[in-house]
Structure 1
């Protein structure tokens, strides 16, 4: 049962005329307008409301009010859910035993989010309308990561924590203003990136700059009571580059998507007349084109964060400022990754860190499977998601097996290592198209039909890599625990909005 767009979308209608002139759906017009306004407001946060001249409460309130305004502009009365989910979780945090509170928060947030996902599927099935589920997915990440950080700070000893848990630890319950400002701050409300509470508080109080002062730029000013003067790096060149890349990705997506729609894989012509290599080539190209809309949204959101001063991550070895603390994607490293693991680590990186924090580091068994399971549940209930994540788990294990059995034969020679890297890069691109097309298609039987037309050849090869390859080519040595830990940084391959 599908409702018409006009019946389902509750955002502002003020810019309907822009939608009519541009031909873009109103939800996308409102999204772009809200992000452009956020980009215009971001320098106010960094300059006028600088932490050296403005109280933390004022900075909290400014981000909160703008976030709520943008949320209502884009989603209308649906925006009530932006407050409903975190409010319920905040009550749980304040009233329940810290030893179990984090699990209860995770359960409440996922149940609430799942209800919204199911509502969308019932009344707007298969739609790509930008609705409240996208921001709610980010809020779910924030509220659950905060709950686990609080649990660590209130109930666990320092020697029981991993290095990541020590970094994110929170030892004091946030006030209502701090909590809801963190949930709704305008820079990342619409599509992320997810920001962990400690990084947000450091940003509000201006601690990030003090922690990462460049050794060559700080000096003692003898005329100012011997205080250290720190030169604050400007983000505007980075912001400009990210905005330009975001616009370029939007143009490429709008230009190419009519020629490579994912729905074409359901057509008889594709299924019956395309050869197997042609089918695979189309899947690779169509899924690559589909990723450009995520690149556009994430790069623009990243630019908004940086323009407000959020995202500064210290300096590199050459003394250049880094603005990648919360960047969601590294396009080149994703598209040219030498393995499935390398590529996944560069896609929706905030979600990768979130899944590692709440699942992978806290479960003694079946970490990879449980990580993919939570990622699938977080995304919703379209069957295509689950086909992608189940396949992703299989190929994660298979790629480890191939690496352990084969890689050591190639690493001792420069030309052989280069050849190995090229082959694995091309293989990764093929596997990525093979497992992610169902995420874009959403549907179960059409996806299965495509797999059957492809003879499920990569699934077969993946199973052989797991079961047969280690027998034919035994690994040179057992993988170290460090290698195991780094092998699964998966966020489930794909991201929030669909």
Structure 2
């Protein structure tokens, strides 16, 4: 089938693999309409259809024959481990098996020096790793007392073990098979059985419990995704993070280099916006992602979203940015790593955050750039949490009142700093090598490390205590000016006290 893709690849200046990937995402749209037309009274047909389309993608189109059987091996191993191994360590055993398999393929990718333009098994395997490890935890939660589970765990737990066909249909759900978004088993079965539609009793034009508006939203996503793709094709070849390695970049002034790098970051992200928006639309065509009705009665389809572009390009803080980027992966990391490594009865802290960031880097691959990016992200998250807990209360107004000038200035400064730190921390993620990453950081004046270091120094040198004192004085002044008003005395617990230095930089013995 390469004869169908080579002329198009030559015309747009892309690799054949990239054209094949986008073609599969677009083909999923009409196939999604076929999928949803299969009635819920025949769930086996829906499972078989999904598996058949995935085989179509992997065999004649992408030619990943061995890759598919590798994925099938992980699927079968997970199925039988979760079915017959009932111990408390079962989810971690599954995690080790599927993540270890993924890491082997990451190593192979590095050995053979595959470029990012080459589409091979690690892409879909990363999505599958999230699905399989989440399923293992869902099965584990289904065996625990309800009193020990939180809201998410209660909603997603598996109490009735699936048949092999159901599990294969879940594992190889075709719209999200190649690049995501991943979905958990309960959402997949709700899609197959149309449970959400039946609960809301929303009738479509066909008389079935399928809400109207699905096609309109899906094709709007398709057009938006293609626009992002076009922007990347036009500008991404020139304005990307690797520009920092050129002699021209080194000759510019520091401020100009920093400004140019922010523009490059926008174009670097366009390719991710494109594929995630395209696959979101394809998922919506199958009925996935329905989240109810708006006040005006229009159907809402936000459940399959994997990215919020405006929140990323104009973030109020780093937490908002992370929550808006690769959202389904964030859910996986939060529910299957962040919460699970936190001791029972304790709140997640810096240790949980750093384990989660390390897991994310490990999941992405073995390149040193991933670890530089996520390690830096861990420190950025910490200073962001400290700022929100200690500085933000000083500029907040009473609920229901207009934001003050100080609050608006805080938001603007927060957006600027967050964007600067995003493009600084993300550069190693794209450049991958240790040398290229540090060359880039040096040519940017290490401004990200300067911001992080200055923030840490401020909070450790008494800044957190100073903020608490200032907030206490503010509350006392409000109560003095208006005795009849309801004053809120300062609550020490609402402020985050910086962790000890050993918690942030563990002793050498703990680093192994």
TM-score range, shorter chain: 0.7 to 0.9
| Cα distance between partner residues in 2 of 1:39 and 1:150 | 32
1:59 counterpart residue number:
46
Choose which of 442, 451, 467 in structure 2 pairs with 1:474.
Answer: 467
Offset of residue 463 of structure 1 = 2.8
Q: What are the within-5 Å matches in structure 2 for residues 2-401 of structure 1?
A: 14-47=4-37, 49-51=38-40, 54-72=41-59, 73-77=61-65, 78-154=67-143, 156-213=144-201, 232-271=211-250, 273-364=251-342, 366-401=351-386
| Cα distance between partner residues in 2 of 1:125 and 1:188 | 23
The change in CA–CA distance for 1:252 and 1:22 in structure 2 (over 3 A counts) is: closer
Unaligned runs of 5+ in 2: 343-347, 398-402, 472-490, 499-512
Contact 2:244 2:443 in 1 (8 A): no
2:478 counterpart residue number:
none
| Cα distance between partner residues in 2 of 1:481 and 1:133 | 42
| Cα distance between partner residues in 2 of 1:95 and 1:481 | 46
| Cα distance between partner residues in 2 of 1:281 and 1:374 | 31
Contact 2:103 2:365 in 1 (8 A): yes
Contact 1:388 1:436 in 2 (8 A): yes
Q: Secondary structure at the match of 1:363?
A: coil
Q: Secondary structure at the match of 1:396?
A: helix
Q: Secondary structure at the match of 2:300?
A: coil
Contact 2:128 2:171 in 1 (8 A): yes
Offset of residue 287 of structure 1 = 1.7
Unaligned runs of 5+ in 1: 1-10, 219-227, 485-498
| Cα distance between partner residues in 2 of 1:453 and 1:333 | 28
1:8 counterpart residue number:
none
The change in CA–CA distance for 1:36 and 1:454 in structure 2 (over 3 A counts) is: closer
Q: Secondary structure at the match of 2:174?
A: coil
238-247 or 132-141, larger mean C-alpha shift = 238-247
Deviation track 1:361-410 (CA, whole Å, cap 9, x = no partner) reads 12226111111011011000111111110000000001111222221222
| Cα distance between partner residues in 1 of 2:266 and 2:318 | 15
Cα-Cα RMSD: 2.4
Contact 1:302 1:328 in 2 (8 A): yes
Between the two proteins, the alignment pairs up a number of residues equal to 458
| Cα distance between partner residues in 2 of 1:313 and 1:50 | 21
| Cα distance between partner residues in 2 of 1:247 and 1:335 | 19
Offset of residue 199 of structure 1 = 0.4
Offset of residue 478 of structure 1 = 4.5
Q: Which has the higher contact order (CA 8 A, sep 6+)?
A: 1
| Cα distance between partner residues in 1 of 2:167 and 2:307 | 26
TM-score, length basis structure 2: 0.84
Offset of residue 13 of structure 1 = 5.7
Contact 2:312 2:321 in 1 (8 A): yes
| Cα distance between partner residues in 1 of 2:423 and 2:493 | 28
TM-score, length basis structure 1: 0.87
Offset of residue 14 of structure 1 = 5.0
